[in-house]
Amino acid sequence: MSNQEIDKGSINTAPTSTDEFIKGLWKENPVFVQVLGMCPVLAVSNTAVNALAMGMATAFVLLMSNVLVSLLRNFIPKEVRIASYILIIATFVTITDYAIQAISVDLHKSLGAFISLIVVNCLILSRAEAFASKNTVSKSVMDALGMGLGFIIALFSLGAVREILGNGAFFGISLFPDGFQEWVIMILPAGGFFTLAAWLLVFNLIKQRRALS
């Protein structure tokens, strides 16, 4: 009971920075609730390392573009705002692309074109349009951090499941005794669809149970 009362109280008051951060993790999780930015989620979540790297790259671009969009929100004319956002995002993605190439050539190879494709991740554009263009810089930072972390968690939970079942390993460390038969299907594209479906199902079940109680 007391929990519900606190929840209601927080809805009435204006959302604080902490609320902006928390909402990205659960209530408005970009992947599991909003179903945004699916392409990289499915494509590079075949191992935990790839998933983590991709999540961090996306979160970085999200943070930087949110800050810049929020800073420039009074200067960008309404008619060309989407084009301006895309230019801002593309700039940061190019920076990230070159940075990853400098840090680890192997990682850059295994992520391939998907780093460049962060540009067209609907999640980043939707945060720029729906949040950063209307809110202060500090709030936009919290929003980006929350959404970014929510995205990383979602990507990682997919990557971990797929690597453990598909490779019998976690971060490249073998987990099972020799007799384990790997589920090769989990690493293949079809496995991505199935794993995501399973996670969404878990989320739906939790939501349904909450609604009932």
Partner 1 sequence: MNQETYSQIFINACLVNNFVLAYFLGICPFLGVSGKIDTSSKMGAAVTFVMLIASICAYGIHSLLIAINAPFLQLISYIVVIASTVQLVEMFVKKMSPTLFKALGIFLPLITTNCAILGLALFQTNKGYDFFQSIVYALGAGAGFTLALILIAGLREQLEFAEVPKVIKGTVLTLIVAGILSLAFMGFSGLGSS
Binding site for partner 1 (CB under 8 A): 35-36, 38-40, 42-43, 82-83, 86-87, 90-91, 93-94, 97-98, 113, 116-117, 119-122, 125, 185, 188-194, 196-197, 200-201, 204-205, 208
Task: Specify the residue, 21 or 47, whose C-beta has the smaller distance to partner 1.
Answer: 47
Q: How far is the CB of 16 from partner 1 (least distance, A)?
A: 31
Task: Specify the residue, 25 or 38, whose C-beta has the smaller distance to partner 1.
Answer: 38
Q: How far is the CB of 183 from partner 1 (least distance, A)?
A: 13
**DSSP-assigned letter for residue 188:** S
- Contacts for 78-87: CB closer than 8 Å, 24+ residues apart: 81/129, 81/133, 82/125, 82/129, 85/125, 85/128, 85/129, 85/133, 86/119, 86/125
Task: Specify the residue, 19 or 182, whose C-beta has the smaller distance to partner 1.
Answer: 182
Q: How far is the CB of 190 from partner 1 (least distance, A)?
A: 4
Confirm if 182 and 169 have CB atoms less than 8 A apart: no
CA atoms within 13 A on the CB side of 204: 7
What is the spatial distance between Cα 155 and Cα 41, in angstroms, rounded to a whole number? 6
Q: How far is the CB of 119 from partner 1 (least distance, A)?
A: 6
